[in-house]
Amino acid sequence: MNFPGLPLLLQSIVSGILMGGVYSLVAIGLTLIFGVMQIINFAHGSLMMLGMFTTYWLYVLMGVDPYLSLLFSIPICFVLGLLIERFLITPVLDAPAHNQLLLTLGLSLFIENLALFLWSPNFRTLDIPYLQTAVTVGTVMISFPKLVAFFFALLLTAFLYYFLKNTDLGKAIRAASMEREGALTVGINLRWVYCLAFGIGTACVGAAGTLSAPFFYVNPSVGGIFVITAYVVVVFGGMGNFIGALVGGLIIGVAESVGAAFFPGQLKKFIIYFIFILILLFKPEGIFGRRSE
């Protein structure tokens, strides 16, 4: 174990919070789908990878700025989510949980292998000079693309929160997640709400993909790196809990980053899995409780 000095600790905390914003966005997509449909989407990571590749190819082939490609990756992933729900998830909605789990896992393998076939397993990066810049505040160095990712992740989260809290459609989604039968009795079309929730969840993770592409590598299996952490965040914040996923993402981001400062490289995820196990053992409903939103 290393004992980092104060500057390193500060640096870790700041980096962790910035990274946490992206984790939050990924986890919000996951927790929204779980909250509404009670389905754990194992294809979430592959869908994030598709968001990253959308941004990558738009830049490489057409010179589209990576942040501008949010305007493409969000609707593309949203529609993709709608289609996946409609044609793959709807048929297994009433099936036992393990069937649903195997289906989304199968979908994930399919998407990743298709990506391997089409785009090879090579690690690719966006080679744009302005993405290499950083801002320095005191001793803390803030990478520009991470700062932008954090800003957009929070912006999208705030936008989604407003939608869920204040629009009729958003309220219908929340209603369906807290009380299915009640939702049916007021005339909410549950099949449409499920479709929509899956679409929004996928759009979230697609946006997170786009926002990560400027500071991470892009390859077919990259989604798993973010999404495994996002599962920890979802459990930590309470499955189906929006605010839990938001705050949890930031906390887990900091835990990971500070963990990396204390422990050698191979053990950098040690702290978050340790937290994961503690939560499962002692507070399985999550820090913020299940589905309070």
**Which residue ranges make up the site for other proteins (CB under 8 A)?**
168, 171-172, 174-175, 178-179, 181-182, 184-191, 292-293
Least distance to other proteins from the beta carbon of 169, Å?
Answer: 9
Least distance to other proteins from the beta carbon of 246, Å?
Answer: 16
Q: What is the DSSP string of 98-162?
A: HHHHHHHHHHHHHHHHHHHHHH-S--B----GGGG-EEEETTEEEEHHHHHHHHHHHHHHHHHHH
- Report the residue number, 152 or 242, with the smaller CB distance to other proteins: 242
- Report the residue number, 123 or 191, with the smaller CB distance to other proteins: 191
- DSSP letter for 130, please: G
Q: With 0-12 CB in 10 A as exposed, 13-18 as middle and 19+ as buried, what is 22?
A: buried
Least distance to other proteins from the beta carbon of 292, Å?
Answer: 6
Distance CA 165, CA 161 (A): 6
Least distance to other proteins from the beta carbon of 278, Å?
Answer: 26
- Report the residue number, 32 or 222, with the smaller CB distance to other proteins: 32
- Report the residue number, 106 or 182, with the smaller CB distance to other proteins: 182
- Report the residue number, 41 or 241, with the smaller CB distance to other proteins: 241
Least distance to other proteins from the beta carbon of 46, Å?
Answer: 32
- Report the residue number, 113 or 189, with the smaller CB distance to other proteins: 189
Closest CA to 107 of 193, 40, 204: 40
User: Which amino acid, residue 275?
Assistant: I
Least distance to other proteins from the beta carbon of 81, Å?
Answer: 21
- Report the residue number, 4 or 170, with the smaller CB distance to other proteins: 170
Contact 255, 271 (CB under 8 A): yes
CA trace torsion 177, 51, 92, 190 (10° rounding): 30
Length of the chain counted residue by residue? 293
Q: With 0-12 CB in 10 A as exposed, 13-18 as middle and 19+ as buried, what is 26?
A: buried
The most distant pair of C-alpha atoms in the chain lies apart, rounded to whole Å, by 59
* Distance of alpha carbon 120 from the chain centroid: 24
Distance CA 127, CA 259 (A): 29
Least distance to other proteins from the beta carbon of 186, Å?
Answer: 5
